[in-house]
Structure 1
Amino acid sequence: MAVVTNFDPGRRKPETNALDALTALVAEDLEACNELIVQRMQSSVDLIPQLAGYIVAAGGKRLRPLLTLASARLCGYEGRRQLMLAACVEFIHTATLLHDDVVDESDLRRGRASANAVFGNKASVLVGDFLFSRAFQLMVEDGSLDVLRILANASAVIAEGEVLQLTTTNDTETSEQAYLEVIRSKTAELFAAACQIGAVVASRPSAEERALRDYGMNLGIAFQLVDDVLDYSARQARLGKTVGDDFREGKITLPVVLAFRRGTDEERGFWRRTLEEMDQQDGDLERGIEIMARHGALKDSVERARHYAAIARDALGLFPESPVKRSMLDVLDFVVDREF
């Protein structure tokens, strides 16, 4: 079994959970958003709210809608449009989770049975489609063509990223550039859109809109990089997932890319056998983690995440100091340093 590794023991962790601090700053808005989520996932077809409620209830910190609410607050917006759009962002995210678990044939999500394991693949795909459709209904209700353009584009890019990931799965020749294109599309694009629409509803200048988009994009890249490292280093009890899910599914993430490039011929043969041919034996996961550690693949992947977090930090330099800005900056440290 893998163990948690301290990749940089000298780095200070945030003293408090930055997500909790940011949540507290927009608590009233988040509560209203959660009420909207519950209202808008209702349907006369009983299975839809039942299945949607199952995965929404298993949700984490609502990070993506939280970013929409925080970005609107950062821009000084005092209306209520951000509430419906934050719910829209959460529906898009939840729909992608439902579809991902079917594609990946996952049985667990955050430590409990995935929706497809409980309700079946067909129901999960169709309810995912329902949530995508509900998200577009919310966009239309908002009435902004700019918002519709941003979120519709994000939905298309996410789908492209999922298909692109299919082309890199089991391919040990995948480049770092190709890997980054996958995570920009399937993960970071929604982070970027979630932040960008906060500036749009506040009618802020294009420079601020771009800055928030850059913040979200680079935060999203850092988030996924760390997630991919944690798959080889974290305990299930703390993250709600088993170690090595990506390995068992043959996914090519940055730790694998770096270990493959830096490895010996014999080690590259190991990766081809386990991830291309999917010939996995007892002890292979542990050996893979040992190879990654030997070549610094996990540590350097975290350093890549810190690089993108630094870019996100610079993007917020355009905005005046405020409690929300401070918390959004702290989230960057929290995302990179979680569980290390």
Structure 2
Amino acid sequence: MDQVWSNYKEALDEVEEQIKKGLDSEVTLINKVAYHILSSGGKRIRPLLLIISAQLCQSVDKRHIHLAGMVEFIHTATLLHDDVLDNAEVRRGIPAARLLWGNQASILVGDYLYTLAVCQAVKMENFEINYLLSTTCRRMSEGETLQLVHSRDLDLTEATYLQIIEYKTAALLSAACKLGGIIGNESDEKKEALSRYGRNLGIAFQVADDTLDYVADRARLGKSPGKDIKEGKVTLPLLHLLQHCSSKDKRELKKVIKKAALLKRDLSFVTGLMEQYGSIAYARKKAQDYANRAKSDLSIFSDSLHRQALCTVADYVVRRDH
């Protein structure tokens, strides 16, 4: 994966410059809050995917740089809103924006970044791009709302969980990949293949992320382990455990989940049960299955450095440790 980052570093550096130029609001607070989170060390997976997809489709201009910046603005908007919804204190190992400037500022700057991305897209005068970005934002909002509806829902089904993460996470990765096909003037068949690749990759990414929340090292994760269970999010490892543990363990598990504040020993109890009942292994396999599907979606493209890079990204999202 280090080689992939290196191969596309020049384009990613251009995206960073594009992002900085884009933060030009006359309201200083907007630029300050947005820059705080945009400069906090995000992986830039979405811009990377757009750049690789555009080069895979032999895009001949710089539109992918502008679009990559827009996609990152949309992603950053969701992070600002998520931290308010989750009462988060830390984001990427530093204080969340809401702690420094308050919930109201975080929501308003998130709204600004959404509209900034849409305004920049409109300037490109491409209906397909405009429609894709606007429907993606709508789908992401639906995913967040669906997650809210099922907060602390211990009867959540795997199908509904997958729908939530497809909407709230995979939709934007799917759009980033398809945008590369759009500006590369690819066939509908290849654009849809890229869209499917991004969707399956996004699901793999989120399942792996939800699993890391229980097993990753705090220093590398950049947040406290067990964040999801504390916030009432029933993700795949916990969902699997609830469905497969004994009645006795399930009763104890429900007591832990309902606690107002979780102690270290509570989290250790939950992760111990997950190891015992194979819930961590199940979630990791599910993430790998979706990553494999993503790689299969690329079979329509000839072998190339860019196709290999997309396959490497698919492997990376399920093997990373933070």
Common fold: TM-score over 0.5: yes
Answer whether contact 1:221 1:308 (CA < 8 A) is retained. Answer: yes
Verify: 1:262 aligned to 2:237, yes or no. no
Structure 2 gap segments, 5+ residues each: none
Q: CA deviation at 1:278?
A: 4.2
Q: CA deviation at 1:333?
A: 1.2
1 CA distance for matches of 2:257 and 2:151?
Answer: 8
Map of 2:279 onto structure 1: 297
Map of 1:9 onto structure 2: none
Q: Quick one: structure 1 residues 245 and 184, their matched pair in 2 at CA, closer, same or farther if it must change by over 3 Å?
A: same
The 5 Å alignment of 1:76-91 reads: 76-91=58-73
Q: CA deviation at 1:131?
A: 0.3
Verify: 1:53 aligned to 2:35, yes or no. yes
> Which deviates more from structure 2 when the two are superposed, residues 291-300 or residues 281-290?
281-290
2 CA distance for matches of 1:302 and 1:42?
Answer: 42
Map of 1:253 onto structure 2: 235
1:177 pairs with 159, 163, 166, which one?
159
2 CA distance for matches of 1:243 and 1:214?
Answer: 31
Map of 2:56 onto structure 1: 74
Q: CA deviation at 1:208?
A: 0.5
The 5 Å alignment of 1:1-340 reads: 18=1, 20-276=2-258, 278=260, 280-281=262-263, 283-339=265-321
Answer whether contact 1:101 1:116 (CA < 8 A) is retained. Answer: yes
Q: CA deviation at 1:266?
A: 1.9
Structure 1 gap segments, 5+ residues each: 1-17
Q: CA deviation at 1:270?
A: 2.5
Q: Identity rate of aligned residues, in percent?
A: 38
2 CA distance for matches of 1:177 and 1:269?
Answer: 24
Q: CA RMSD in A?
A: 1.3
2 CA distance for matches of 1:143 and 1:56?
Answer: 27
2 CA distance for matches of 1:69 and 1:304?
Answer: 27
1 CA distance for matches of 2:236 and 2:258?
Answer: 16
Map of 1:12 onto structure 2: none
Letter of the 2:27 partner, please give it. Answer: V
Q: How many residues align?
A: 322
2 CA distance for matches of 1:239 and 1:280?
Answer: 19
Provide Cα deviations, 1:242-277, integer angstroms capped at 9, x if missing partner.
111112111100001100000111222233223346
Answer whether contact 1:171 1:276 (CA < 8 A) is retained. Answer: no
Q: CA deviation at 1:98?
A: 0.1
